[in-house]
Structure 1
Amino acid sequence: MTDTMINPSPAPAPRAAVLDDAHVGDIRGALGTIKLDDTAPRKGLSAKLKTLLAIVGPGLIVMVGDNDAGAFATYGQAGQNYGTRLLWTLLLLVPVLYVNQEMVLRLGAVTGVGHARLILERFGKFWGAFSVIDLFLLNALTIVTEFIGVALAVGYLGLPKTASVLVAAAVVILAASTGSFRRFERTAIALCLGSLLLVPIYFMIHPSTGTMAHDFVVPGMPKDSKLSDVMLLIIGIVGTTVAPWQLFFQQSYVIDKRITPRFMKYEKADLWLGIVVVVIGAAAIMGFTAAAFTGTKEFGNFDDAIGIAHGLEANAGRVAGVLFAIALLDASIIGASAVSLSTAYALGDVLGLKHSLHRGIGGAKAFYAIFAGVVLLAAVIVIVPGSPLGLITEGVQTLAGVLLPSASVFLLLLCNDKAVLGPWVNGRWTNMFTSLVVAVLVCLSIILTAAVLFPDITTGAILDIMAVCGVAGLLALGYAETRRRKKGWAMAAPVDRAGKENWRMPPLEELPKPIISTGRKVGLTALRTYLLAAMILVIVRIVQLALGH
């Protein structure tokens, strides 16, 4: 017998859909390396810890990156205007954050294809184009707000605005342009650690622990406050905490880090680490801002993030204000890096460009040109005299809230596409929870759009909108159940998860063409029509405000 007969060659591994060959190879994380051929089971605490350290990065960066300049302002406004009465919103957002980002990291690890490209391939050019256009517009404005944060921070610290903003832009660009994924991730994680500066500020101001604990777990509304104003701020908290760019960034970053399904549980731990850090930071801002301004004439009169720094200085000394300004500067830089990368990744995916931090500038010129271009454009807008920075900040928060449902809907549909995720598709409970989240986001989006178009909207009108949304949701649920019974459709059978650790999505050209039902087409068309109309109306309203009408 020949050696071939005795020791047959192993069957070739099935082809995967990874679009950039730089996305295949060793995992070279900031805190460790995992070789491509290292398939040994992780036994013992030491081995598991080393693996976790190598994987840590995507979840932590995407979460801390969302505690950016806009988040500092939103959480600070909540604390300065309403004390700690809105802390409970953070607790309610924890499962939303986890479920959304867990679905995204699952898509990245299993498919090897970015979020924008999957939408393009599975829903067509029309939907893919709208998703990328939405993302590009919102991201461009968001990056401007990050450099507004830089300008505010350096102004408080007494540094020159123009030079500091340009230096910050150069730091963002250089950190991502070395051709080393590991160098970028080490820089990003160092910035993440910088966000912990909020913790000593909290202890310097020492807000009431009992009040904080109560308001964190017991939902309530601020007393003697206009409900419409409170509702809009809650929508702002949701929009700044569950931002659309996060979905595109984490999926592409997981792919670029070369994480595969076999490391899913470690990546979930990384995500939980990021969620814990972001909630601690947000709660700290609300807590120490509330404590610093309660009983002062500035309470209820939020202006901007640096107004918080001055309030902290008046309450606890210059050091507290300086620490806050440095934390704001740190948050703005990591936010600018993550949002800019999500833009470059998405366009690289859709346009078929080489797009990886493992490549140097010479190996991915267009990718780095897009990344550097959006960063420099945002920095220039901030330093140009007369730029409507306040309106841009307001516009970003509004557009983010309006566009939230779109990203979540496509995410939910992709995670139920068996051709894409195979044994990794959503289970029944995940679908039920995510569908509820999407319904709530649609309702909040409608309220926000109405509030922008009608600034004097009454509390009664908001409650009417919520009631109509609730009735519409129940009718839609009833229609779906009636249709299921009429057609004789059974409830979804349990998914066969066998062998999922080694399952990867085949190349895109080998996937069967998706079948989109008439009902789904009608629903998607209605959602897109609403979102497009709402986005146009919001932009028109912002332009009117800019022109003084």
Structure 2
Amino acid sequence: MSISSSGRPGRDTPPGGISGATTSSSMSSAVLDSAHVGDIVGALGTISGEDTGQRRRWWQRLRLLLVIMGPGLIVMVGDNDAGGVATYAQAGQNYGMALVWTLVLLIPVLYVNQEMVLRLGAVSGVGHARLIFERFGRFWGWFSVGDLFLLNALTIVTEFIGVSLALSFFGIPKSISVPFAAVALFVVVAGGSFRRWERFLFALIAVNVVVIPLVLLAHPPIGAIGDGLMPQFPGGVNSTLLLLIVAIVGTTVAPWQLFFQQSNVVDKRITPRWMGYARADLRIGIAVVMIGAVALMGAAAFGFAGTSDAGNFTDAGAVAAGLSTHVSHTVGMLFAILLLDASLVGANAVALATTYTLGDTLKRRHSLHWTITQAPLFYLGYAGLLVVSAAVAFAPDHVLGLLTLAVQALAGVLLPSATVFLVLLCNDKPVLGPWVNTARQNVIAATIVWCLVLLSLTLTAATFFPDLSSRTYEIGLATGVGFGLVGGILITLSRRGNDDHHEAIGGLARAERQAVIARDRASWRTPALATLQRPVMSPLRRAGLLTLRGYLIIAAALIVVKIVQTATGAGS
């Protein structure tokens, strides 16, 4: 049997080091950590490294999907972390279902971004940070990961805040809940077993099923959720509303997700042969995260409708207490359980994203297949993040409340920078070969980046000029969209005839062409990165990246200003 449910997770891991690709196949590939070569070991089974993947019966394909499933599902559910729960609840409590449309618009953003890192991980066999360092040099490498470390550490603080608020609903003090959560998270990871870790995450993910009774017990009116599908700005466009929209974007599509999923795909040893199954895993994850987000927004919207707490969000703990008072104790308890679960999944995923990136940056072992003695830096980095973040979680409550919203908004503002490097890598033919972006994919990706920039520009304008009318914002956004359309047309024209890696077979019939592409893609793996010539960074591209970076620094500073204004009541 090429697929089984038995076998030790690390049995096929060679004894080499970070460069230790000891097999002939890995000697010529980009893989840096020998633990990233071998059988696919998942929570629900094992797939042999020699398996061809040929399955005809649906139940056989389903079995393969269950083994491969993981990176896409975990990164998406980790997206609904403590900050996500708080942000969706805030949107529901303060604006009802009026902001559901933001979630719908984010679905293509989620898939396009995460599918690109899935491709990069499966084809290259190395993490996102390592590709950036190898292809663009140390300056641009630190340019891309520098703020990731700080933002991730702050994000983990919000996860521990979520743990504290959730367990306080059950009468457990912070002095017990936070240290216990930190220790539990480390114990699960530090066993040198990828399978055990993934099984633990799957168990946490299964808890998300309680979102269904949560929203149903809030008694939503039939069709009420659909009312929020039409884009709208309740109360008019203002900086407070825009800050929340940016926070929704930041908590739904966060920079850490790019680094986590690519590294987790690599750590699970998924190769291009399994791309279809990995994409299905991602789609399942997106469906789960969207259902959860809408349900959380709905529970707060319907649970607080017509009460004195409607429009007066403070924090996730107050939401649990308010639902317990206004709806039922069961609803409050379900919300607290979801908050706890989301916090644990989020802390685990974000901390791993950080330590995966640390290993990539320093070229040290970074795999859940290694034990603590085999990869001390990987596990020490993970433990250090948990300890520092847990300690910061004991800061005064008013500081922590500001931090939660700020982290989500900052993630939304900084996302364009991360996405730009993602698009550049997905157009790097020496790395991806036949897997490079097509012109259509580039247009979609460029549109996403431009929309994110427009959103942060709008927030900047609202912070500087709080008295601008809604009509002014509408004109500005329409103008920005117009520029984006023109740019998309120019990109399309410039890439015509260069859609993929197979320009030379353009004369073949469609079926023949697809067969050649499929064979080429099935066998392509990124060569050793040291053997590839680095792409030339043109002066125009360099200037554009530096300009974007400079603007995002200013936008991030304005986020902080707006957070302070909101806390002091000075914001609009």
Alpha-carbon contact 1:404-1:445 (below 8 Å) kept = no
| Alignment partner of 1:61 is 2:74 | yes
CA distance in 2, matches of 1:465, 1:230: 17
- Pick from 375, 378, 402: which aligns with 1:367? 378
CA distance in 2, matches of 1:222, 1:454: 18
- In the other structure, the counterpart of 2:210 is 197
CA distance in 2, matches of 1:480, 1:360: 47
| Alignment partner of 1:309 is 2:320 | yes
2:46 partner SS: strand
Letter paired with 2:393: V
- In the other structure, the counterpart of 1:503 is 524
- In the other structure, the counterpart of 2:498 is 492
- In the other structure, the counterpart of 1:3 is none
Taking a change above 3 Å as real, the CA distance of residues 225 and 296 of structure 1, as seen in their structure-2 partners, is farther
Show the 5 A alignment for 1:36-47. 36-47=49-60
Taking a change above 3 Å as real, the CA distance of residues 444 and 545 of structure 1, as seen in their structure-2 partners, is closer
Q: Deviations over 1:240-289 (max 9, x none)?
A: 10000000000000000000010011111111111111011001011121
2:143 partner SS: helix
- In the other structure, the counterpart of 2:245 is 234
Alpha-carbon contact 2:255-2:411 (below 8 Å) kept = yes
Letter paired with 2:527: P
- Pick from 160, 165, 171: which aligns with 1:147? 160
- In the other structure, the counterpart of 1:424 is 435
Deviation at 1:323, TM superposition (A): 1.3
- Pick from 6, 9, 30: which aligns with 1:17? 30
- In the other structure, the counterpart of 1:391 is 402
CA distance in 2, matches of 1:120, 1:135: 14
Unmatched tracts of structure 2, length 5 or more: 1-22, 503-516
Alpha-carbon contact 1:98-1:272 (below 8 Å) kept = yes
Q: Deviations over 1:168-217 (max 9, x none)?
A: 111111111110000000001111111222111112122123122343xx
| Alignment partner of 1:220 is 2:231 | yes
Letter paired with 2:344: I
Taking a change above 3 Å as real, the CA distance of residues 192 and 40 of structure 1, as seen in their structure-2 partners, is closer
Letter paired with 2:329: R
| Alignment partner of 1:27 is 2:48 | no
CA distance in 2, matches of 1:418, 1:153: 47
Deviation at 1:61, TM superposition (A): 0.4
CA distance in 2, matches of 1:548, 1:517: 46
Deviation at 1:539, TM superposition (A): 5.2
- Pick from 105, 114, 117: which aligns with 2:118? 105
Alpha-carbon contact 1:228-1:458 (below 8 Å) kept = no
When structure 1 is superposed on structure 2, of 219-228 and 138-147 the one drifting more is: 219-228
Taking a change above 3 Å as real, the CA distance of residues 394 and 223 of structure 1, as seen in their structure-2 partners, is closer
2:334 partner SS: helix
- In the other structure, the counterpart of 1:245 is 256
Q: Deviations over 1:90-149 (max 9, x none)?
A: 222111111111111110000011111111121221111021111101101111111111
Taking a change above 3 Å as real, the CA distance of residues 545 and 197 of structure 1, as seen in their structure-2 partners, is closer
Alpha-carbon contact 1:99-1:434 (below 8 Å) kept = yes
Alpha-carbon contact 2:460-2:555 (below 8 Å) kept = yes
Deviation at 1:13, TM superposition (A): 4.3
CA distance in 2, matches of 1:317, 1:325: 13
CA distance in 2, matches of 1:150, 1:493: 47
Letter paired with 1:110: V
Unmatched tracts of structure 1, length 5 or more: 1-10
CA distance in 1, matches of 2:265, 2:251: 22
Taking a change above 3 Å as real, the CA distance of residues 138 and 309 of structure 1, as seen in their structure-2 partners, is same
Taking a change above 3 Å as real, the CA distance of residues 461 and 361 of structure 1, as seen in their structure-2 partners, is farther
- In the other structure, the counterpart of 1:320 is 331
Taking a change above 3 Å as real, the CA distance of residues 13 and 37 of structure 1, as seen in their structure-2 partners, is same
- In the other structure, the counterpart of 1:257 is 268
Provide the aligned C-alpha RMSD in A: 2.5
Q: Deviations over 1:21-74 (max 9, x none)?
A: 001111110011101122251221222111111101101100000101111111
- In the other structure, the counterpart of 1:210 is 223
Letter paired with 2:498: A
- In the other structure, the counterpart of 2:20 is none
Alpha-carbon contact 1:443-1:465 (below 8 Å) kept = no
CA distance in 2, matches of 1:169, 1:280: 28
Deviation at 1:517, TM superposition (A): 3.0
- Pick from 399, 404, 415: which aligns with 2:426? 415
| Alignment partner of 1:180 is 2:196 | no
Alpha-carbon contact 1:228-1:462 (below 8 Å) kept = no
1:363 partner SS: coil
Alpha-carbon contact 1:388-1:546 (below 8 Å) kept = no
- In the other structure, the counterpart of 1:532 is 553
Taking a change above 3 Å as real, the CA distance of residues 108 and 468 of structure 1, as seen in their structure-2 partners, is same
CA distance in 2, matches of 1:395, 1:186: 32
When structure 1 is superposed on structure 2, of 437-446 and 206-215 the one drifting more is: 206-215
CA distance in 2, matches of 1:80, 1:545: 17
Deviation at 1:480, TM superposition (A): 6.4
Alpha-carbon contact 1:109-1:260 (below 8 Å) kept = yes
Letter paired with 2:98: R
Letter paired with 2:268: K
- In the other structure, the counterpart of 1:273 is 284
Letter paired with 2:82: A
- In the other structure, the counterpart of 1:288 is 299
Taking a change above 3 Å as real, the CA distance of residues 309 and 257 of structure 1, as seen in their structure-2 partners, is same
Taking a change above 3 Å as real, the CA distance of residues 183 and 206 of structure 1, as seen in their structure-2 partners, is same
- Pick from 168, 171, 176: which aligns with 1:163? 176
CA distance in 2, matches of 1:548, 1:284: 30
Normalised to the residue count of structure 1, the TM-score between the two structures is: 0.91
Number of aligned residue pairs: give it. 532
Alpha-carbon contact 1:154-1:329 (below 8 Å) kept = yes
When structure 1 is superposed on structure 2, of 118-127 and 103-112 the one drifting more is: 118-127
Identity of aligned residues (%): 53
- Pick from 72, 77, 86: which aligns with 2:99? 86
Taking a change above 3 Å as real, the CA distance of residues 291 and 546 of structure 1, as seen in their structure-2 partners, is closer
CA distance in 1, matches of 2:265, 2:430: 20
Deviation at 1:493, TM superposition (A): 4.3
Taking a change above 3 Å as real, the CA distance of residues 211 and 546 of structure 1, as seen in their structure-2 partners, is closer
Alpha-carbon contact 1:17-1:112 (below 8 Å) kept = yes
CA distance in 2, matches of 1:473, 1:36: 44
- Pick from 521, 524, 528: which aligns with 2:542? 521
CA distance in 2, matches of 1:548, 1:499: 60
1:210 partner SS: coil
CA distance in 1, matches of 2:176, 2:36: 36
When structure 1 is superposed on structure 2, of 192-201 and 245-254 the one drifting more is: 192-201
Alpha-carbon contact 1:32-1:54 (below 8 Å) kept = yes
